[in-house]
């Protein structure tokens, strides 16, 4: 099993290309099930979750081809993938596939809308919380679906003639459920209004792609989304937006290690709140023609308090990374997690490096220390894994991160990108 070895102490200088967003690519790929034409997606990252979803879509009958690779210093980025779901051969998403990646549950929306039925395994819990599917079921029921749960599967059936437009107000913001309800409503009869919808850039990106396919969606990027159903969707070509979580992660890595790095192929507007927080912590951030420049030379890391919130607030997916940064701040900071109930499992691993962190409910108190010391640590989930890398960049000696398969789910070639900027980071295979 692979591990990541980090020898801390090196500043970062250079250019880091930002990949396409995993959290945008996954729902875009699933949207290909809505049409029998070809959906072509550009800038798709090469990640474990993307490869798993390719297998899942293939189970439903999608034909998938990859081309258009752009070489950069011997590496492949910005893949172009063509998805053609001319014939849906199965409306069942089995447990053995859905259990490996929660987002695969989202196929329930397109399958129900296009085929009138879907049988999708319950995804179960995950490392960062239970994340129930109640909101998905309630939203689809508002479109006329009949849904029952039996034997660990969600069995959904549309009324004769297909789904019908309806109004549903989410009692709690859910990015995944917003994706699913929006996709399902594109082929419903009549108009659907989604209230308290997620405003994340990835939701708006999906809406733009669906509109390019012939959908009639308005209000995306706001809390009220309106969808006028159409009879069918066509193919389209769409470029996946830059990964704002990867952008924020590398910005924090530079703030932690020091240095001067250009984050290329990304947009500051995707994560204004996070960038402003990193500025308050002591880094200089400016926009360039094709990205963002992060600089921290000589100044210390200042303590900053944050509360995670849905977009445009501070992203929960950057909480662990920011905690890693705060371990070396010049004072006391507090992080309050409001999205997931079990997202502090990285605390004990950071403590192995010398961090001083205490928990009280959903708030972590971080007392900054002057030095961290390398140690063997274990990744507990995707974002926690990279927080350990960030801490390791500033730790004395060697940090060895195990269970890096979590890292491979969401960060494309992380060790190679950091190494190119002067970090001592390498993948070690046992």
Q: Which CATH superfamily is domain 2-19+242-429 in?
A: Enolpyruvate transferase domain (3.65.10.10)
Order of strands, edge to edge, in the sheet holding 236-239?
63-67, 79-84, 38-44, 236-239
- Residues 181-233 have pLDDT tens digits of 999 999 999 999 999 999 999 999 999 999 999 999 999 999 999 999 999 99
Calpha distance 352→298 (Å, rounded): 26
Q: Is 131 labeled as ligand-binding? A: yes
Residue 323 belongs to what H/E stretch?
A: helix 319-326
Q: Is 312 labeled as ligand-binding? A: no
Q: Which region among 51-60, 174-183, 341-350 has the lowest average model confidence (pLDDT)?
A: 341-350
Q: Is 23 labeled as ligand-binding? A: yes
Q: Which CATH superfamily is domain 22-239 in?
A: Enolpyruvate transferase domain (3.65.10.10)
Predicted TM-score (pTM) of this structure? 0.94
Q: Does the pLDDT value for residue 129 go beyond 50?
A: no
54, 122, 126, 400: which is the annotated catalytic residue? 126
126 is known as an active-site residue: yes
Residues of each domain in the chain carrying CATH 3.65.10.10: 2-19+242-429, 22-239
Strand 224-228 relative to strand 236-239, pairing = unpaired
Q: Is 133 labeled as ligand-binding? A: yes
- Residues 382-398 have pLDDT tens digits of 777 899 999 999 999 99
pLDDT of res. 124: 56
Q: Does the pLDDT value for residue 74 go beyond 70?
A: no
CB 366 within 8 A of CB 335: yes
Q: Is 201 labeled as ligand-binding? A: no
């Amino acid at each position: 099993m692979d591990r990541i070895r980090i020898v801390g102490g090196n500043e970062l200088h250079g250019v880091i290309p930002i990949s396409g967003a995993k959290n945008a690519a996954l729902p875009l790929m699933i949207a290909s099930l809505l049409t029998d034409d070809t959906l072509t997606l550009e800038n798709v990252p090469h990640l474990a979750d993307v490869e798993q979803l390719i297998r899942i879509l293939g189970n439903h009958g999608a034909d998938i081809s990859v081309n258009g690779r752009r070489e950069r210093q011997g590496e492949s980025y910005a893949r172009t993938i063509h998805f053609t779901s001319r014939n849906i051969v199965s409306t069942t998403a089995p447990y053995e596939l859905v259990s490996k990646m929660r987002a695969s549950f989202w196929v329930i929306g397109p399958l129900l809308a296009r085929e009138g039925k879907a049988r999708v395994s319950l995804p179960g819990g995950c490392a960062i919380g239970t994340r129930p599917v109640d909101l998905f079921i309630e939203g689809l029921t508002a479109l006329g679906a009949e849904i029952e749960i039996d034997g660990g599967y969600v069995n959904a059936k549309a009324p004769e003639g297909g789904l019908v437009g309806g109004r549903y107000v989410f009692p709690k913001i859910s990015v995944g459920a917003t994706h699913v309800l929006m996709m399902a409503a594109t082929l419903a009869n009549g108009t659907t209004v989604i209230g308290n919808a997620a405003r994340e850039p990835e939701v708006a990106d999906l809406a733009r792609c669906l509109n390019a396919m012939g959908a009639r969606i308005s209000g995306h990027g706001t809390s009220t989304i309106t969808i006028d159903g159409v009879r069918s969707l066509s193919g389209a070509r769409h470029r996946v937006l830059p990964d704002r979580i990867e952008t924020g992660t590398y910005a924090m890595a530079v703030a932690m290690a020091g240095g001067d790095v250009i984050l290329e192929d990304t947009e500051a507007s995707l994560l204004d709140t996070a960038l402003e927080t990193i500025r308050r912590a002591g880094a200089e951030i400016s926009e360039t023609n094709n990205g963002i420049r992060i600089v921290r030379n000589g100044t210390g890391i200042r303590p900053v308090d944050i509360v995670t919130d849905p977009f445009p607030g501070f992203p929960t997916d950057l909480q662990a990374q920011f905690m890693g940064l705060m371990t070396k701040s010049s004072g006391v900071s507090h992080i309050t997690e409001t999205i997931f109930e079990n997202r502090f499992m990285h605390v004990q691993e950071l403590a192995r490096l010398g961090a001083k962190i205490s928990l009280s409910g959903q708030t972590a108190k971080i007392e900054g220390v002057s030095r961290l010391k390398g140690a063997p640590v274990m990744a507990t989930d995707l974002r926690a894994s990279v927080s350990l890398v960030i801490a390791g960049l500033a730790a004395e000696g060697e940090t060895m991160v195990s269970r890096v398969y979590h890292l491979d789910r969401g960060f494309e070639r992380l060790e190679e990108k950091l190494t190119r900027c002067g970090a001592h980071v390498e993948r070690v295979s046992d």
